[in-house]
Amino acid sequence: MIQPVTMPEGRPLISAVTGTNGKTSVATATLQLMKLVGWRAASYDSTGITDVHGVLHEARTRRSADYLPGLIGSQARAGAQAISIEAFVGILADGLFERVAVDTAVSTGFERDHLDVHGSVDAYWSAKLRLFDEYLRPDGIAILASDSAQGSLVRAVVERRGARLVTVGDGGEVRLLGAEEIDGQLRGRLAIGGVSYPVTLPTVHSIAVTNLLLAAAAVTGIGAEPEAVADALRNVTPPQGRLQVIAERAGITAMVDTAHNPGALRIALMAVRARTPGRLLLVFGAGGERDRGKRREMGQIAQKLADLVVLTDDNPRREPPERIRREVRAGAPDSIEIPLRKDAILAALQMARPGDTVLVAGKGDESSQVVGTQRLPHDDRNVIRTAMSQA
């Protein structure tokens, strides 16, 4: 049994998640679990602010030091008992958690990203670690997957902080036992601190399972009954655009994912590969005016893990798209280059055979493409649906 944190006086329980990939998946699952176990809950994540009534509000892009405390205070006055927060690196680096006491802090793992803003991997990771080193209550709970990337960094900070550490996955305090796939779901038992409970998870992808278990540990850590959490997991809805199957036709599966950095692309490709009996076809590109150093690495990952790579434009912004593709292609010399994203998706679908999976990565649930200074209408999902319905 995980011994939950001591209930705070006069404020909602706060669960925060940081990391390079999977933050939104964990944060949204945490909010859903909070509500499913009967708490009045709110959240702040990449989708916006969800208040205690379930209404989604747009979040401010310019934030002051009063932003998070003000948000928490307003939701507390509205009756919130718990709040799930996605701790973006920007708000951590800017110290916006200074007046926020975090009860459970989750790490999804640290990979390379945002070097265009932070300058180095060390600076980027140091900003992320502030959640555990400065803002997690000294008697709070830190949570990370047992195979978490750079988990040793989190472990060292948590040990120095004096907080408790809960691990998720093989050998951890929270893990899935005896999982069996039935109708696109996993059924087994959820082990939490030595006791196990029947559980059904609404996914079969390993990374999605880990994200759900991280959320389960976070909610259990702030006092939810483990049995109630295990029962609630079956009703959690994954966020749009994350390893999302868009269409299946004639034995071909088409999916989208938000993967836009080396770690996320590798994880997505490995997850899809494990579920693909035939070939894995990848359509992807890299964003403009962002960390150029990751492009070659993404190309290398794509060429290694996919059977066929179609290189296209992502959000080139004001950077010459041909230069972006050239830098990605340095790592994927065997890729097929089709600049127009719609044409690239259509080409991959036409090349697919029964048993194949087409994964379109980089944009996920985005409904536009930034070219120059214009935001042009484009949705990978709509392109796939239209093409597959006419096949």
- Are residues 316 and 288 in contact, defined by beta-carbon separation less than 8 angstroms? yes
The per-residue pLDDT for range 76-108, each reduced to its tens digit, is 999 999 999 999 887 888 888 999 999 999 999
- Of 22 and 148, more confident: 22
- Mean residue pLDDT of the chain comes to 92
With 90 as the cut, is the pLDDT of residue 8 above it?
no
How far apart (Å, rounded) are the C-alpha atoms in residues 358 and 211? Answer: 23
Average pLDDT over residues 353-370: 97
| pLDDT at res. 391 | 63
Average pLDDT over residues 162-182: 94
- What the chain holds in terms of domains, given with CATH numbers, is 13-235 (3.40.1190.10), 244-390 (3.90.190.20)
**Percent of the chain predicted with pLDDT > 90:** 77
Confirm whether pTM is higher than 0.85. Answer: yes
- Of 376 and 89, more confident: 376
How far apart (Å, rounded) are the C-alpha atoms in residues 295 and 258? Answer: 16
As given in the structure block, the two tokens for residue 269 are 């490709």
| pLDDT at res. 1 | 61
**Could you tell me the pLDDT band of residue 62, with boundaries at 50, 70 and 90?**
low
Residue among 164, 361, 181 nearest 282 (CA): 361
Exposure string for 312-335, b = 16+ CB within 10 A, e = fewer? bbbbbbebebeebbebbbebbeeb
| pLDDT at res. 61 | 60
Phi and psi at residue 201, to the nearest 5°? -105, 135
Least confident of 59-63, 209-213, 334-338: 59-63
How far apart (Å, rounded) are the C-alpha atoms in residues 177 and 213? Answer: 12
The per-residue pLDDT for range 285-301, each reduced to its tens digit, is 999 998 898 999 999 99
CA dihedral 12, 17, 23, 26 (to 10 degrees): -60
As given in the structure block, the two tokens for residue 341 are 């994203």
With 60 as the cut, is the pLDDT of residue 207 above it?
yes
**Could you tell me the pLDDT band of residue 118, with boundaries at 50, 70 and 90?**
very low
- Are residues 195 and 173 in contact, defined by beta-carbon separation less than 8 angstroms? no
The per-residue pLDDT for range 249-287, each reduced to its tens digit, is 999 999 999 999 998 999 999 999 999 999 999 999 999
How far apart (Å, rounded) are the C-alpha atoms in residues 296 and 303? Answer: 11
Average pLDDT over residues 138-167: 90
With 70 as the cut, is the pLDDT of residue 119 above it?
no
- Are residues 265 and 40 in contact, defined by beta-carbon separation less than 8 angstroms? no
